[in-house]
Amino acid sequence: GQQLNQSPQSMFIQEGEDVSMNCTSSSIFNTWLWYKQDPGEGPVLLIALYKAGELTSNGRLTAQFGITRKDSFLNISASIPSDVGIYFCAGPNSGSARQLTFGSGTQLTVLP
Amino acid sequence: SQTIHQWPATLVQPVGSPLSLECTVEGTSNPNLYWYRQAAGRGLQLLFYSVGIGQISSEVPQNLSASRPQDRQFILSSKKLLLSDSGFYLCAWSYRGSYNSPLHFGNGTRLTVT
């Protein structure tokens, strides 16, 4: 089945630094979704991308849908302590658009 | 606006006991509904999804089952829990009929089987 390779697996950064994480796949995705999960809570949708090349921002977050449709990245600028959590990329399963394939997540730790 | 409720938030159950986790969605009709399990804070595993009342698709064979008795109610059950059933269970919904609709998750149930 489809797989999403998400990297890095974990990041330790200083408060105020910028963060970049990405997802790649061997197959084409028509949608890329980025979620954030706070400890003990469910994932929350951050950004949805629907067109190749699309660049979308949500506050300090910026995500891009790769031109090849096989990758996407998420950038966080000027990180703050509440950015701590696990970030997941996701895309609809080619077998059934009702289902999502998720990346394995990037654990972000922001040091004061 | 749409909301999704999941309960209980935490649950400790002995091995061999039954399980019932409930999820309800408000503010939308005919949603797709999903149950996911997350182990060790990573890796979301799809367990079941439903596109309508009484329609359940199982992704992983195991001792869990799901039911959808009402349009906006999704229940995850087990007759006899195993130690390996411990984990974080997440319910989610999406718009039916909308291609590539994102999933929206509840706050999860932390299940510990002892």
DSSP labels, chain B: --EEEEE-SEEEE-TT--EEEEEEEES-SS-EEEEEEEETTEEEEEEEEEEETTEEEESS-SSEEEEEEETTEEEEEESS--GGG-EEEEEEEE-TT-TTPPPEE---EEEEE-
A42, B108: Cβ pair inside 8 Å? yes
Q: By C-alpha distance, which of A77, A63, A83, A72 is closest to A30?
A: A72
pLDDT computed for residue B43 by the predictor: 82
Instruction: Report yes or no: B11 at the A interface, CB cutoff 8 Å.
Output: no
Residue in chain A closest to B45 (alpha carbons) equals A102
Q: By C-alpha distance, which of B110, B75, B106, B108 is closest to B3?
A: B106
Instruction: Report yes or no: B1 at the A interface, CB cutoff 8 Å.
Output: no
**pLDDT above 90 as % of chain B:** 78
Please write the tens of the pLDDT for every residue from B58-79.
888 689 999 999 999 999 999 9
Q: Helices then strands (H, E): number in chain A?
A: 0, 11
- Residues of chain B contacting A88 with CB distance shorter than 8 Å: 44
Please write the tens of the pLDDT for every residue from A39-91.
889 999 999 999 999 999 999 999 999 999 999 999 999 999 999 999 999 99
Consecutive H or E run containing A72:
strand A71-76
A41, B110: Cβ pair inside 8 Å? no
Residue in chain A closest to B31 (alpha carbons) equals A98
* Burial of B13: CB neighbours in 10 Å, binned 0-12, 13-18, 19+: middle
Q: Over range B22-28, report the average pLDDT.
A: 96
